[in-house]
């Protein structure tokens, strides 16, 4: 995160706490709908469950977003776009993997072009199991993620910086080339 602007007045620990409080209360979300979730997201955004009351609003571009929702199975071609979207987001950033498929492949467990664990390629902070998870489960995941951010547990973005080489090696095993 950003450096402390006033180190003489605010102790570093307090500054981190303030930053976590702020990023918890205004998560801007970009949802990467790979195949599923287009039915479950609208009730979460609109008047039935209304995620805006927690400050979560959908954003149109990765530059502005803090939270990446990967909804559904991830094909090897899609993975490259997901990694690009993830790398364009600004730190601190969080990832929620949505449905059974990013956890262990789901019904595509033996498919030739679906990756099985998203966590090997980008760091995932929260999983929602289910095929498909209901909107209640999504709201629950948002609240749990907010709690994790507050406690400093949601630090996937730090992991991505620290173990970048390993993540990159795993990604390159799938891609072979970056420019196609």
Partner 1 sequence: MVTDWLIHAGLVALYLFLAMVIGLLFMGIARKITARIQNRVGPPIYQNFLDLGKLLAKKTNIKHNWIFDFAPLFGLGGVLLILAYLPMGGYIMLSGQGDLILLLYILAIPALGFALGSGASGNPNAGVGVMRALTLMLSYEMPFLIVILSLMIFYNTASLSVLLQKQMNYLWGIAALPISALAADIALQGMMAEKPFDIPIAPHEIASGPLVEFGGKYLGLLMLYSAGSIVVETSLFVDLFLGGGIVLNPTVYGTLAYFVNYLVWLALIFVVWMIAIFVNAVFPRFRIEQAFKFYWKWPTVIAIAGLVQAYVMSVFLGVVP
Contacts to partner 1 by CB under 8 A:
1-2, 18-19, 22-23, 25-26, 28, 46-47, 50, 52-55, 59-64, 66, 89-92
- Gap between the Cα atoms of 172 and 35, Å rounded: 23
Nearer Cβ to partner 1 (69/114):
69
The least CB distance from residue 26 to partner 1, in Å, is 4
- Gap between the Cα atoms of 168 and 120, Å rounded: 10
The least CB distance from residue 13 to partner 1, in Å, is 15
Nearer Cβ to partner 1 (28/175):
28
Sheet architecture: strand order including 67-71 = 57-58, 28-33, 67-71, 94-98, 126-128
The least CB distance from residue 46 to partner 1, in Å, is 7
Q: How much is the CA Rg of the chain, to the nearest whole Å? A: 17
Instruction: At 176, list the tokens.
Output: 């072979």
Nearer Cβ to partner 1 (70/89):
89
């Amino acid at each position: 995160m950003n450096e402390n602007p006033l180190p003489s007045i605010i102790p570093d620990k307090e500054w981190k706490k303030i930053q976590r409080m702020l990023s918890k209360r205004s998560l801007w979300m970009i949802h990467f709908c790979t195949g599923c979730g287009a039915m479950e997201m609208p009730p979460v955004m609109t008047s039935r469950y209304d995620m805006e009351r927690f400050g979560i609003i959908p954003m149109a571009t990765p530059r502005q977003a803090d939270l990446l929702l990967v909804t559904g199975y991830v094909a090897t071609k899609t993975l490259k776009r997901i990694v690009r979207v993830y790398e364009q987001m600004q730190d601190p950033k969080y990832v929620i993997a949505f449905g059974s498929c990013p956890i262990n492949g789901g019904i595509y467990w033996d498919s030739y072009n679906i990756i099985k664990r998203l966590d090997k390629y980008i760091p995932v902070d929260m999983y929602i199991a289910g095929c498909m998870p209901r909107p209640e489960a999504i709201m629950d995941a948002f609240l749990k993620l907010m709690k994790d951010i507050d406690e400093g547990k949601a630090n996937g973005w730090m992991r991505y910086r620290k173990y970048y080489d390993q993540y990159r090696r795993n990604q390159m095993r799938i891609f072979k080339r970056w420019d196609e």
